[in-house]
Structure 1
Amino acid sequence: MPGIILTVLLLVLPAAESNAGNTVVVRAGSLLDIVNERLLSDQMITIRSGRVQTVGPWSAVAVPSGATVHDWSAWTVLPGLMDMHTHLADSAQSANVLAPLETTAAESVLQGVAHAEKTLRAGFTTVRDVGVWRAFNDVALRDAIDAGIVPGPRMLVAGAYITVPGGAGDITGQAFDVTVPADLRFGVVRSPAEVRERVRTLIQRGATFIKTLATGAVLTTGTHVGAQELSEEELRVAVEEAARYGVYVTAHAHGAEGIKAAVRAGVRSIEHGSLLDDEGIELMRERGTWLVADIYNAEYIDRAGTLEGWPAETLAKNDATAAIQRENFRKAHQAGVRMAYGTDSGVYPHGDNALQFAWMVRFGMTPLEAIRAATLSAAEMLGRDEQLGSIAPGKWADLIAVAGNPLEDITALETVVGVMKGGLIHLDPSLN
Structure 2
Amino acid sequence: MKSFKITTLLCLFAGFTQVHAAEWDIIHAGTLLAVPGESVTAQQSVILKDGKVYGIKNGYIDASDLSMDSSDSLEIHNLKNHFVTPGFIDGHVHLTFAFSPTAMLSMVQMSDADTAMLGAKHARDTLMAGFTTVRDVGAWTDDAIFALRDGINAGYVVGPRTFVAGNPIAINGGHGDFTHSFKESVANVLRTSGVCDGVTECRKAVRDQIRRKADHIKLTATAGVLSDSNAGLEQQFFEDELSAIMDTAKLMGRRVTAHAHGAQGINAALKAGANTIEHGTFLDDESIRLFIENNAYLSPTLSAFETGRQLLNNPNSYLTGNQREKAEVAMNAANTFVKRAHEAGVNIALSTDAGVGPHGDNAKEFELLVKYGGMTPMEAITAGTLKGADNIGKLDELGSLEAGKWGDIVAVKGNPLDDITILQNVSFVMKEGLVYKHIAD
> Normalization by structure 1: what TM-score?
0.91
Letter in 1 for 2:377: P
Distance 2:362 2:230 in 1: 26
Displacement of 1:35 in angstroms is 4.8
Match of 2:403 in 1: 393
Given candidates 278, 285, 292, the residue that maps to 2:292 is 285
CA deviation string 1:362-388 (max 9, x = no partner): 121111111101100111122211110
Distance 1:337 1:291 in 2: 7
Displacement of 1:214 in angstroms is 0.6
Matches within 5 A, 1:412-423: 412-423=422-433
Q: Does 1:212 align with 2:200?
A: no
Letter in 2 for 1:79: P
Change (3 A) 1:221 1:183: closer
CA deviation string 1:351-406 (max 9, x = no partner): 00011111111121111111101100111122211110001111000000111111
Contact 1:95–1:311 at 8 Å: present in 2 too? no
Given candidates 50, 72, 80, the residue that maps to 2:79 is 72
Contact 2:309–2:331 at 8 Å: present in 1 too? no
Match of 1:89 in 2: 96
Contact 2:303–2:353 at 8 Å: present in 1 too? no
Displacement of 1:339 in angstroms is 0.8
Identity of aligned residues (%): 38
Segment of structure 1 superposing worse, 168-177 or 416-425: 168-177
Q: Does 1:301 align with 2:308?
A: yes
Given candidates 191, 194, 197, the residue that maps to 1:187 is 194
Displacement of 1:309 in angstroms is 2.8
Displacement of 1:183 in angstroms is 5.7
Displacement of 1:161 in angstroms is 0.8
Change (3 A) 1:57 1:184: farther
Match of 1:4 in 2: none
Distance 1:175 1:70 in 2: 53
Displacement of 1:98 in angstroms is 2.1
CA deviation string 1:9-51 (max 9, x = no partner): xxxxxxxxxx973111111111113255111111101111110
Contact 1:250–1:271 at 8 Å: present in 2 too? yes
Match of 2:31 in 1: 30
Match of 2:419 in 1: 409
Match of 1:241 in 2: 248
CA deviation string 1:229-286 (max 9, x = no partner): 1112111111111112211111000011111100000010000011111211122121
Contact 2:302–2:369 at 8 Å: present in 1 too? yes
Given candidates 273, 276, 287, the residue that maps to 1:269 is 276
Letter in 2 for 1:57: N
Q: How many residues align?
A: 412
Distance 1:243 1:406 in 2: 38
Given candidates 327, 352, 368, the residue that maps to 2:361 is 352
Distance 2:308 2:36 in 1: 35
Match of 1:380 in 2: 390
Letter in 1 for 2:221: A
Contact 1:195–1:238 at 8 Å: present in 2 too? yes
Letter in 1 for 2:416: P
Contact 1:217–1:223 at 8 Å: present in 2 too? no
Distance 1:223 1:250 in 2: 24
Determine helix, strand or coil for the equivalent of 2:348. coil
Contact 2:32–2:42 at 8 Å: present in 1 too? yes
Displacement of 1:181 in angstroms is 5.0
Q: Which consecutive residues of structure 1, in runs of 5 or more, have no partner in the other structure? A: 1-18
Letter in 1 for 2:240: E
Distance 1:25 1:237 in 2: 49
CA-based RMSD of the aligned residues comes to 1.8
Distance 1:45 1:278 in 2: 43
4+ runs deviating over 4 angstroms: 59-63, 181-184
Contact 1:216–1:223 at 8 Å: present in 2 too? no
Distance 1:229 1:36 in 2: 38
Match of 1:127 in 2: 134
Distance 1:205 1:183 in 2: 18
Letter in 1 for 2:100: S
Q: Does 1:314 align with 2:315?
A: no
Contact 1:136–1:160 at 8 Å: present in 2 too? no
Contact 1:199–1:241 at 8 Å: present in 2 too? yes
> Normalization by structure 2: what TM-score?
0.89
Determine helix, strand or coil for the equivalent of 1:178. helix
Match of 2:46 in 1: 45
Q: Which consecutive residues of structure 2, in runs of 5 or more, have no partner in the other structure? A: 1-19
Q: Does 1:137 align with 2:147?
A: no
Distance 2:103 2:36 in 1: 43
Given candidates 250, 259, 264, the residue that maps to 2:266 is 259
Determine helix, strand or coil for the equivalent of 1:73. strand
